[in-house]
Structure 1
């Protein structure tokens, strides 16, 4: 599809996200949006930090809240991760709001939970507000996390502060448009009563030249999980599923650290009792991700809640089929049984069955990996920009 765009009616667009531009899941989504918006209008990005790379638009890193850092550095207070996140987002929002008082702004696109004050300041000057939600509907996300708290009997599981949820509610009310990463996420908003016409979907993209297929050099069937081992990501269901499958010559590879004490103890016990389950730590901003993906047979993202799950798209670009849950936004990209599988959340038996099938059918697994790569190649930066331009057209902001 080719879209012929005339000059934008919007002189100034502000994009805000309390993260490091281009680093991590949020940072990559921020960079995605920046790449698209910079082609449409005069863009300014507000973020927490940024890497030392050149951009064709101004970037204002406002830094991180020292109170949030201090709280996380205090042993007795570390369990209050909800308060640390709130303090960090409040600080970021306050700094952006101050900047916007003197910064021209016709449209502000801000990440959910981080932009309530920024919306108010920009809208008071006549700007349009778009909420950029990188997760599912936040009260839905909160409900899923609380269910895991009960399952794990873990009081340290990170939940969202009530003030965060109130800020999110106000942001939804202020926003003329809510931009989400998947139809899965969109449905959680609709189920909460948000009008469907107020929500638009734009799937993220990745660099398929950095994520590409490479030969696997052993015969071990190796499922892979990448990400923080936190309750909402569902590793507590993947591990027993892998053990139940009892696949010969297999190894489960977990890449990432744990977020809570209960999960740390659970993983440590698992590693001590199962020699074919491994945990490794990689920094993919400095190390080549293909070195990990090429060792593996399938990526499993067993999230009980996930607005998208960018690692699934990265794995597909590397030629791996994926297993994701129906609560994971990456399910948008998965054709069940063609380039991966979609399973119900919290379903150990379903995960075990899919792992067993893929291990027993190498030729099918390889073919699914080829289709997965072809799928990833569709989600390009150019397609993202065209879709973003179409959103502007649909909103009457471009001719």
Structure 2
């Protein structure tokens, strides 16, 4: 396969299974263990605070591994990096299954996050190179959407196996899924250098890339950080506000699930709009919708009104599927692309970790409704930053 080949000769179907299949499988594995990690910790005698910290290690592992993941991808290539990530993730699942103590479980969870960072960056880097720029947003939105479908399916598969084998069953589901993801990823077509336009010379350092692209990182990059903060806050506020209203866990799960279903339905149309009209046609409406949804949530006082708000948030989140990856691909240089994407994903992960932290601080200092409203303001701020910094038409030269 030629890097960013002739659009007329390219079809996403030609790489659909090897490019998107691993994303689905990795998502199934992640979805299977997400609700089980705190239960495993509690079963091993942890406190609620300790269990929460162990869950947080999943995101911390991903956050601190994004830059190393970019260096590994630049050195070993996308296919080998994805295979290595699958092996690391499989090892991490086995560590979780056989962990004799809490600190070993914590190490396993951290390694799961680190493996996800490598896998996600390598997939994004591959698609950035393989897909023509005029189809880039559709590819990235599909990548993000398929992962969400996997995360949605994972808990159901995990629940079935847990019923038969207990809590470790979820990790075995994830182990099989990530192994299959690595096997499918290995079938990705090779990236050929085509006309030989690939820049020669040593790879640029992380510091050099930050200096060279500081204007983009301080403008669009800040917008991406805000988008991630809003998205991660959205995952927390729905169950928290439902609990504050006194709704049952079953009702809360139903509302959250319906919001997720809407989220999954619109990723491809969103990508197509970004390709045909420009990135801001999706970025601004998505963040405005999520910002308004969060501002309206404290005004909801029943299951029905919360459902309406949750559906609005799900629609906005689905509309922004693939947005961060698309923008990262747009602004990444040909020389040092993997390293730049590592910086980009680090900023995104930092926002994802910071959103719930800000929400927790404001909730403790003021009230939950104030914290949710503040998250809504961040959504409107993200829309403003991206509207001012992202060109109306996407850059299609890289």
Higher helix share: 2
Q: Structure with the greater relative contact order (CA < 8 A, sep ≥ 6): 1 or 2?
A: 2
The structure where strand makes up a greater share of residues is 1
TM-score normalised to structure 1 length? 0.29
